Amino acid sequence: MSMMTDSSNLVRLTKARIRPAAEMFARAFQDYPLFAGLIPDASERKLLLPDIFQFMIRFGVLYGEVYATSPDLEGISVWFSSEKAEMTLWKMIRIGGLPLIYHYFRMGQCISRLVAYNKYAFKLHNRHAHFPHWYLFLVGIDPKFQGRGHSSALIRPMLGRIDQEHLPCYLETQNRENVSMYEHYGFKLVQLDTIPGTDVNHWAMLRKKSG
């Protein structure tokens, strides 16, 4: 599959934009199945998600590559090379998990579920992608800009680059509607599972290297 490789229109996210990016992701994922399953109470989700995404995006800025469609942050994608994808304790300390620690004491059950999910997802990741690859960690589009091609603008250039590097790419999604979209980009389902302790489906997908 031929992919666009021009990423000149994308904006590399900097530390200064992490908080507004996190707030955009929180809006985009407020009702997403994964977070609705792990944090069932909508008011708790609304409170927790900005800090959770701030933590995730900071991790991406420091250890991966984070791109926005424009300075207005209509959409954002977070990518990691495989050797930098694991969220170790040292990395968590370095990127500053204090807001999550604070919420842990206030809402420990919610955070403990997220930690358990992270361990589960990383185990599946290692099972299906135990070789050099890229990891599409997050793609989020602000709800008011969805359906306008922002996902494609974020995904296609990076997949073009990955093709040039002759590497595979791994991702996971918990939204059935996303599966066909990722299949359009060349990803294939490698496992459909249910996240332990929830009724949330988890699709693990892999795109083989070009050539």
Q: How many helices (H) and strands (E) does the chain have?
A: 8, 7
Q: How confident is the model at residue 132 (pLDDT cuts 50, 70, 90)?
A: very high
Q: Are 203 and 173 in contact (CB under 8 A)?
A: yes
pTM, entire model: 0.88
Start-to-end C-alpha separation, the chain: 11
Separation CA 57–CA 66 (nearest Å): 8
Q: Residue 124: is its pLDDT beyond 70?
A: yes
Q: In the predicted model, what is the mean pLDDT of residues 182-205?
A: 96
Provide the token pair at 201: 């489906």
Q: Are strands 169-173 and 188-194 parallel, antiparallel or unpaired?
A: unpaired
Going along the chain from its start, the domains and CATH numbers come out as 11-166 (3.40.630.30)
CA–CA–CA angle 184, 185, 188 (5° rounding): 80
Higher pLDDT, 4 or 79: 79
